[in-house]
Structure 1
Amino acid sequence: MAAPIEDYAILSDCHTAALVSREGSIDWLCLPRYDSPSTFGALLGTEDHGRWTLRPTDPHAQTSRRYDGDGFVLLTRWETAAGVAEVADVMPYGDRRPDVIRRIRGLEGTVEFTQELRVRFDYARSMPWMRQAGTDAAPALVATAGPDALVLRGAALRATDHAHTGTVTVSAGEVADLTLTWFPSHRLIPDPVDVDAAFETTAAWWRQWADGIEHDGPHHEAVVRSLLVLRALTHEDTGGIVAAATTSLPEDFGGSRNWDYRYVWLRDASLTLEALISHGFTEEAVQWRRWLVRAIAGSPADVQIMYGIAGERRLTERELDNFPGYDGAAPVRIGNGAVEQYQADVIGEVMVALEAARVAGVDEGEYSWPLQRALLGYVEENIGRADNGIWEIRGEPRMFTHSRVMIWAAFDRGVRAVREHGMPGELERWEALCDRMRAEIDTSGYDEARGHFVQSYGSTEVDAALLLLPQVGYCAPDDPRMLGTVAELERRLMHAGLLHRYRTASDVDGLPGTEHPFLACSFWLVEQYAGSGRLADAHELMDRVCGLANDVGLLSEEYDVTLRRHVGNTPQALSHLALVRAADALVARSER
């Protein structure tokens, strides 16, 4: 069985990511992209689904770990009866090839490490051909299957029961380097990586990027780590921002709420972009906007709510029967059926993010504003259409209040573009549509008798997404309607001090099982508390949710308050960007 979700740290080269457990096992790695088939997939099954372990032979070794400064060089310290050693894990940035380096450094005494390699390409559906390709002085093991190949260098390994194992011993002052490099199987084995240069270059790049973060206030370290995570989930070449590094980590342990998050949601990417822009990263805004123009190119009627990392449209959802799932949570899915959904809020999020880019001084590109005008035309054409909402329900479409507000926000940003930035557009038409949407929402999205906004028209349920209404400027945080909504959210959706998205006991999502408090929602509530003057509550909740991050500052999607465990895909972009927004809200309130 895989380790607890919170036991994993992430390595990233801004093309793909590896998850490393506290016990030194790389249990998840897709090569060469975040959404490629897995090479190590033990996270969703057993060791036979692929992994690369490196830990002291001593079963009683004690471990602690941290990132080396502001980046993704993971340092794991091992203490044994015979000595102390440190493993530095990194995926080098900038060499445009997938490498993983594991450097063992002896600190005290002598420590023997055991290494085990189980390569399983194509989601563990391909058992590779393994061959020795090096020398006694420079051992190399090559794995090949179909289009994939990799070479492991640095220590001799021998075949044992469909795995390759060996030992490495270091004494104080000694260093041993293990490197793994993926390459297309039709090409020659690549040259060895320059390990010293890789560590130096990678650490320097992450340090320089982090130095550009504009933030001064409480929870500074959490904000910096969260922004680093958002950058680590951004594909260097395409600009696509994936929602998480994993697929099918369950929202309900043992259940079927298991989804593939290794794609670019327009919503999540737009919100990520806003977080980056607010902290000084305008180049990322330019790069993502280029991605957007390429991905959506064509008829606005064909716009999707998510795309592949390079803008791929076909993300057909499939189930992998050869995986038992994390902790028995099946099915394991690749692709995502939500790609076929209509989610009316998405264009609003895109328009809000691109407005933030304009305000930050990012010039409109040749196709950027024409694209936005076309998207507003698409929104108008579908203005009366029910949708699946921000939570991608798999039940019947509804008129979700949050979605309707985001339609208003889309036209509002169109109006601002014309009035405040001098862009050409249908000002009077968009203003009329704003007025129309506001009148509709105020009438149908608000329950006058109960004094709160509702999840969807005709419903009496509430939804944490209603906390986003003040964030996009629909109403003020201290609007009596919002205060009533917050009171109802606290009454119905708070559990052990954390906020659920909505009541799964209602018939809204069309899925069996339940889920746990959704971390982004609690951060949204922090922002709401701060905006409405409940500062003590805001700080208390912020401390509580930030305290759920694991030992290296990562957050998953949800949190099980009973078992005290992370739940869902990890690290989750939405959780981290919501943390950043909440921290910014606390700073803004303290400066008033």
Structure 2
Amino acid sequence: MPYQPIENYGVIGNMRTAALVGLDGSIDWLCLPRFDSPSVFGALLDDKKGGFFRIAPTAERVRHKQYYWPDTNVLVTRFLHPDGIAEVEDYMPVGVGTPVDEQLVRRVRVVRGRLPFALECRPAFDYARAQHDTHVNEHGARFDGPGLSLGLAASVPLRRDRDGVAGAFTLGEGESATFVLRTIDRDAAPGRCPGTGEAEERFRATVAYWQRWLGRCTYHGRWRETVHRSALALKLLTYEPTGAIVAAPTTSLPEGVGGHRNWDYRYCWLRDAAFTVYAFLRIGFADEAARFMDWLGARWKEHESHCGAPLQLMYAVDGRSDLTEYELPHLDGYMGSRPVRVGNGAHGQLQLDVYGELMDAVYLHNKYARPVSYDSWVSLRGLVDWVADNWDRPDEGVWETRGARKDHVYSRFMCWVALDRGLRLADKRSLPANRAKWLAARDAVYEQVMARGWSDTRKSFVQSYGADNLDAALLLMPLTFFMAPDDPRMLATVDAIRTPATKGGLAADGLVYRYDYKATHDGLEGSEGTFNMCSFWLVEALTRAGKTDPARLEEARLRFEQMLGYGSPLGLFGEQTGPSGEALGNFPQGFTHLALISAAFNLDRALGTR
């Protein structure tokens, strides 16, 4: 197949960048040296020009399997053939003693029989826009691109093949071959390939790092393995030097194959803040929550003006604010899904909800981890003052539509969250604040949402004032304590959303669309799938309503376990699920895994020990 299904990929990384490894043994996506750097392997977005690094048996009738080494991010691709069984172990070394250069290790082993293999390594620097020089010697190969050089150390001979290298080798039972791809200085040697013993030590050290990290997890409830995999995926999406977490390690994987809804998710959204802090704290990773809060703190202390607001909704992992969006017309896109985009134009939008998510994160971290400092409070107080003065402005909304600004209900009630958490913090810590102003604004927001955000026609809260469209983001009303989970209006909204889309709702079996994209006029062409995190939001809304209605709790469990079946064989989730159950959108998506952890934690707690 020229393109693997998105769900056929596993992800490995070193908390600076990540690689996607296909079921066929091909690395089809890797950006170096960090998540938002230009790609060196990009066959995921153009199977002919993008570049790849493939190792696989040459025999026919090979079957494939992939799994993670237990409790780690070390990926194993297994090849099954009548003549033998082979495995490719892929990982990026991490932990104490790891070399400072970026490394990717691929070890090929035959565990039974004897099999021939082929290797192809064809980098395509700078999103396949730049030429590079290839040099081969007895130790491997070197690729010199603009501003970046890669060394491929190999334990078997390689030969030059056009602008890449190739190799052929045969391994018998118990034999192995190792390949190390690393960043190197220009004109340097590709580096020494580790011997068999050293390769085993490096493998064991990486396994030990991940198992030691996961051992800190305090979650021991139902679906433990699934929650653990989500935690490991989120850790991979962390940029260790700053503590930021990217939404996904990829760009431009389509929300609908052949469509135009293709975006760059290799940045950190403020919107993820509360969900990230909540998820990490709930399952015992206080250090990760603290590091992310440090990154957030650097953003709110900057107080630059973006679109007339003190903060923009997303930043690069190093805090850079210029995320100018442009297209790469020379790339075909995944399965012909153009355009391929770099950067994200939504960074210049006004999205008022981010202040609610930010203040909720601060509140949670102050409550469960580390008290907010006075200096931080001075900056945060300024943000809440700004929300009190600006909450009534139309904006682009949580879904980053590219049509006209509207009075989005989600944005409004998240402004209420920002004001509410500011008041709670000020009262809990006796911090100085303009309480009267915040309280008046908070009450005004609430009254307005109840009066204008509710549709007597739909018998539900709606996406924006004056509209009758539903919005799955409204499921967060009880999760943020804006509404009681069993309030009649909230129950009616949940029921409207979980009604099948064919009957005017947003549901498709256990899946949920974020909104009716055909009726919303979001300024975008093409179709999209159901939104995975919205499906988990519905589970959590039903869970909370289940405290007074056991039938809703049972439905929450059914929907949650049904939803888990739409994950990849490795337990990874993309942004969306397509009409045939396929993964769509950037992969894996952190927001989905955050929602999964939250839903699992609260559902398990609600089910108790029954």
After TM superposition, the score normalised by the length of structure 2 is 0.93
Q: Are 2:440 and 1:422 aligned?
A: no
Distance apart, 1:175 and its partner CA = 2.0
- The 8 Å contact of residues 178 and 193 in structure 2, kept in 1 or not, is answered as no
Aligned to 1:383: 391
Q: 534, 538, 544: which is aligned to 1:521?
A: 534
Q: 211, 217, 221: which is aligned to 1:213?
A: 217
For 1:540 and 1:420, locate their aligned partners in 2 and report how far apart those are by CA, in whole Å.
39
Distance apart, 1:335 and its partner CA = 0.1
- The 8 Å contact of residues 126 and 145 in structure 1, kept in 2 or not, is answered as yes
- The 8 Å contact of residues 143 and 151 in structure 1, kept in 2 or not, is answered as yes
CA shift in 2, pair 1:309/1:191, >3 Å: farther
Aligned to 2:264: 260
> How many aligned residue pairs are there?
587
Q: Which amino acid aligns with 1:320?
A: L
For 1:512 and 1:168, locate their aligned partners in 2 and report how far apart those are by CA, in whole Å.
48
CA shift in 2, pair 1:191/1:308, >3 Å: farther
Structure 1, gaps ≥5 residues long: none
Aligned to 2:561: 543
- The 8 Å contact of residues 39 and 124 in structure 1, kept in 2 or not, is answered as yes
Q: Which amino acid aligns with 1:239?
A: G
- The 8 Å contact of residues 2 and 27 in structure 1, kept in 2 or not, is answered as no
Q: 314, 317, 322: which is aligned to 1:314?
A: 322
CA shift in 2, pair 1:431/1:349, >3 Å: same
Distance apart, 1:366 and its partner CA = 5.7
Moved more, 80-89 or 290-299: 290-299
For 1:269 and 1:150, locate their aligned partners in 2 and report how far apart those are by CA, in whole Å.
35
Distance apart, 1:191 and its partner CA = 5.9
CA shift in 2, pair 1:182/1:530, >3 Å: same
For 2:378 and 2:212, locate their aligned partners in 1 and report how far apart those are by CA, in whole Å.
35
- The 8 Å contact of residues 93 and 198 in structure 1, kept in 2 or not, is answered as no
Q: How does 1:534-573 map to 2 (within 5 A)?
A: 534-561=552-579, 563-573=580-590
Distance apart, 1:120 and its partner CA = 0.7
- The 8 Å contact of residues 40 and 128 in structure 2, kept in 1 or not, is answered as yes
Q: How does 1:185-200 map to 2 (within 5 A)?
A: 185=186, 195-200=199-204
Q: Are 2:314 and 1:301 aligned?
A: no
Moved more, 503-512 or 307-316: 503-512
Q: Which amino acid aligns with 2:302?
A: G
For 2:274 and 2:184, locate their aligned partners in 1 and report how far apart those are by CA, in whole Å.
33
Aligned to 2:133: 129
Aligned to 1:440: 448
Q: Which amino acid aligns with 2:378?
A: P
Distance apart, 1:462 and its partner CA = 1.1
Distance apart, 1:410 and its partner CA = 0.3
Aligned to 1:87: 88
Query: What do residues 389-418 of structure 1 show as CA deviations (whole Å, max 9, x unaligned)?
Result: 110010111111111000000011011101
Distance apart, 1:486 and its partner CA = 1.4
Q: Which amino acid aligns with 1:569?
A: N
Q: How does 1:241-280 map to 2 (within 5 A)?
A: 241-280=245-284
Q: Which amino acid aligns with 1:480?
A: P
Name the SS for the 1:48 alignment partner: coil
- The 8 Å contact of residues 230 and 272 in structure 1, kept in 2 or not, is answered as no
The alignment-based identity, stated in percent, is 39
Aligned to 1:107: 111
For 2:375 and 2:569, locate their aligned partners in 1 and report how far apart those are by CA, in whole Å.
44
For 1:494 and 1:402, locate their aligned partners in 2 and report how far apart those are by CA, in whole Å.
19
Moved more, 266-275 or 346-355: 266-275
- The 8 Å contact of residues 243 and 265 in structure 1, kept in 2 or not, is answered as yes
Name the SS for the 1:105 alignment partner: strand
Q: How does 1:358-397 map to 2 (within 5 A)?
A: 358-365=366-373, 367-397=375-405
For 1:344 and 1:16, locate their aligned partners in 2 and report how far apart those are by CA, in whole Å.
30
CA shift in 2, pair 1:86/1:113, >3 Å: same
For 1:14 and 1:269, locate their aligned partners in 2 and report how far apart those are by CA, in whole Å.
18
For 2:541 and 2:557, locate their aligned partners in 1 and report how far apart those are by CA, in whole Å.
12
Distance apart, 1:187 and its partner CA = 6.8
Name the SS for the 1:362 alignment partner: coil
Q: Are 2:235 and 1:231 aligned?
A: yes
For 1:170 and 1:520, locate their aligned partners in 2 and report how far apart those are by CA, in whole Å.
44
- The 8 Å contact of residues 31 and 38 in structure 1, kept in 2 or not, is answered as yes
Moved more, 155-164 or 60-69: 155-164
Aligned to 2:549: none
CA shift in 2, pair 1:197/1:548, >3 Å: same
Name the SS for the 2:239 alignment partner: coil
Moved more, 269-278 or 469-478: 269-278
Q: Which amino acid aligns with 1:466?
A: L
- The 8 Å contact of residues 133 and 163 in structure 2, kept in 1 or not, is answered as no
Query: What do residues 174-203 of structure 1 show as CA deviations (whole Å, max 9, x unaligned)?
Result: 221111102353777566565334322221
- The 8 Å contact of residues 213 and 279 in structure 1, kept in 2 or not, is answered as yes
Q: Are 2:591 and 1:580 aligned?
A: no
For 1:183 and 1:377, locate their aligned partners in 2 and report how far apart those are by CA, in whole Å.
49
Aligned to 1:530: 543
Moved more, 181-190 or 406-415: 181-190
For 2:173 and 2:193, locate their aligned partners in 1 and report how far apart those are by CA, in whole Å.
25
- The 8 Å contact of residues 30 and 36 in structure 1, kept in 2 or not, is answered as yes
For 2:590 and 2:421, locate their aligned partners in 1 and report how far apart those are by CA, in whole Å.
24
For 1:366 and 1:18, locate their aligned partners in 2 and report how far apart those are by CA, in whole Å.
41
For 2:69 and 2:190, locate their aligned partners in 1 and report how far apart those are by CA, in whole Å.
31
Structure 2, gaps ≥5 residues long: 500-504, 547-551
Aligned to 1:504: 517
Name the SS for the 1:351 alignment partner: helix
CA shift in 2, pair 1:191/1:315, >3 Å: farther
After TM superposition, the score normalised by the length of structure 1 is 0.96
Distance apart, 1:423 and its partner CA = 2.8
Q: Which amino acid aligns with 1:583?
A: A
CA shift in 2, pair 1:260/1:186, >3 Å: farther
CA shift in 2, pair 1:188/1:381, >3 Å: farther
Moved more, 566-575 or 102-111: 102-111
Which aligned segments of 4 or more residues in structure 1 are displaced greater than 6 angstroms? none
Q: Are 2:45 and 1:48 aligned?
A: no
- The 8 Å contact of residues 556 and 575 in structure 1, kept in 2 or not, is answered as yes
For 1:42 and 1:144, locate their aligned partners in 2 and report how far apart those are by CA, in whole Å.
19
Q: How does 1:15-94 map to 2 (within 5 A)?
A: 15-94=16-95
Aligned to 2:502: none
- The 8 Å contact of residues 408 and 438 in structure 1, kept in 2 or not, is answered as yes
Name the SS for the 1:77 alignment partner: strand
Moved more, 317-326 or 57-66: 57-66
Query: What do residues 353-396 of structure 1 show as CA deviations (whole Å, max 9, x unaligned)?
Result: 11111111313246422221122122223222111111001011
- The 8 Å contact of residues 242 and 269 in structure 1, kept in 2 or not, is answered as no
Q: 477, 485, 497: which is aligned to 1:489?
A: 497
Distance apart, 1:286 and its partner CA = 1.9
Moved more, 212-221 or 577-586: 212-221
For 2:450 and 2:293, locate their aligned partners in 1 and report how far apart those are by CA, in whole Å.
33
Query: What do residues 88-128 of structure 1 show as CA deviations (whole Å, max 9, x unaligned)?
Result: 11111132321111111221121221100101110011221
Q: Which amino acid aligns with 2:79?
A: W
- The 8 Å contact of residues 317 and 334 in structure 1, kept in 2 or not, is answered as yes
For 1:575 and 1:70, locate their aligned partners in 2 and report how far apart those are by CA, in whole Å.
20
- The 8 Å contact of residues 532 and 575 in structure 2, kept in 1 or not, is answered as yes
Name the SS for the 2:49 alignment partner: helix
Moved more, 87-96 or 247-256: 87-96
- The 8 Å contact of residues 144 and 150 in structure 2, kept in 1 or not, is answered as yes
CA shift in 2, pair 1:196/1:510, >3 Å: same
CA RMSD across the alignment: 1.7
